[in-house]
Amino acid sequence: MAERFDLIVFDWDGTLLDSAAAIVRAIQAASRDLGLPAPSDERARHVIGLGLTDALAFAVPELSEADYPRMVERYRHHYLSSDHELNLFAGTEAMIATLVERGHLLGVATGKSRAGLDRALSHTGLGAHFLATRCADECHSKPHPQMLHELMVELGTAPERTLMIGDTTHDLQMAEAAGVAALAVTFGAHPADVLRRHEALAYIERPEDLGPWLAANA
């Protein structure tokens, strides 16, 4: 069967790495460090996938602009203290290896910083499989389509041959803005009912179902 998509782009946090809860805890802890009200789990989860500055502006609206650098420092302190303990979702390594074997080009579009993504790729050992990656400190934050536009140009693929996979509405909106197909996973940051308000080829409920769906449909 001919492959439908040449390029498959993954979000990172909440899509490949089971990190949403750790991000929420780090945002809440950083807020308390600055004497600010900690956002609810729902509010903190909503901003996962955005660039860090945009995320904090929404998650902690009481934060003054002058305190952004300190907030970012405290967030990174809390997140990086345990990020090495985070795990890939079940089946991720085998799925990535299979996609590479089938000839797909793989990329990452993430709200992480370049340093953060490089650290995560090194920890997980997946770095060699992704031919191109884009981060929020290199591009406009999601849902702006710049990340996908740049990945398609770098890897020489057309929008109709590109698939974006993510766990947030930011990912689905970015895909729509870039004119590419989207696949939603509902086991990450944003709840299924919110994701289903946006167009996607499918809504994958369990990590172990993602690889089989791609094998049959990508």
Instruction: Please write the tens of the pLDDT for every residue from 166-197.
Output: 999 999 999 999 999 999 999 999 999 999 99
pLDDT score recorded for residue 56: 83
5, 218 contact by CB (below 8 A): yes
108, 130 contact by CB (below 8 A): yes
Predicted TM-score (pTM) of the model is 0.94
Residue 1 lies in a domain: no
pLDDT score recorded for residue 54: 85
Any residues with CB less than 8 A from the CB of 91 and at least 6 apart, and which?
A: 207, 208, 210, 211
Residue range 150-174: average pLDDT? 98
Residues 128 and 47 in one domain: no
pLDDT tier for residue 57 given thresholds of 50, 70 and 90: confident
Number of domains in the chain: 2
Residues 106 and 201 in one domain: yes
Residue 114 lies in a domain: yes
Query: How deeply is 128 buried, as exposed, middle or buried, from its count of CB atoms within 10 A (0-12, 13-18, 19+)?
Result: exposed
Torsion of CA 167, 169, 173, 174, to 10 degrees: -40
Residues 70 and 173 in one domain: no
pLDDT score recorded for residue 30: 95
Residues 33 and 112 in one domain: no
Last residue of a domain, one of 84, 111, 128: 84
What region does 78 belong to: left with phi over 0, alpha with psi -120 to 50, or beta? alpha
Taking each helix axis from N to C end, the angle separating 68-80 and 20-33, rounded to the nearest 10 degrees, works out to 130
Residues 49 and 70 in one domain: yes
Contacts of 209-216 with C-beta under 8 Å, sequence gap 24+, read 210/89, 210/91, 210/95, 210/165, 210/185, 211/91, 211/94, 211/95, 211/98, 213/183, 214/8, 214/95, 214/99, 215/98
Domain residues for the domain of 143 are 7-18+87-217
Residues 185 and 94 in one domain: yes
Residues 111 and 195 in one domain: yes
Residue 165 lies in a domain: yes
pLDDT tier for residue 112 given thresholds of 50, 70 and 90: very high
Total Cβ atoms within 10 A of residue 23: 26
The helix or strand, by DSSP H or E, that contains position 32, with its residue range, turns out to be: helix 20-33
CATH classification of the domain holding 182: 3.40.50.1000
Residues 58 and 101 in one domain: no
Residues 149 and 197 in one domain: yes
142, 174 contact by CB (below 8 A): yes
Residues 122 and 192 in one domain: yes
Residue 132 has pLDDT above 90, yes or no: yes
Residues 41 and 138 in one domain: no
Residue range 65-73: average pLDDT? 92
Residue 50 lies in a domain: yes
Last residue of a domain, one of 52, 69, 84: 84
Instruction: Provide the 3-class DSSP secondary structure of residue 75.
Output: helix
Instruction: Provide the 3-class DSSP secondary structure of residue 29.
Output: helix
Q: Point out the residues that are catalytic.
A: 11, 13
Residue 46 lies in a domain: yes
Residues 45 and 73 in one domain: yes
Last residue of a domain, one of 84, 104, 121: 84
Instruction: Write the DSSP symbol of residue 81.
Output: T
191 prior amide bond cis, ω within 30: no
Instruction: Please write the tens of the pLDDT for every residue from 13-32.
Output: 999 999 999 999 999 999 99
pLDDT score recorded for residue 42: 94
Residue 2 lies in a domain: no
pLDDT score recorded for residue 2: 58
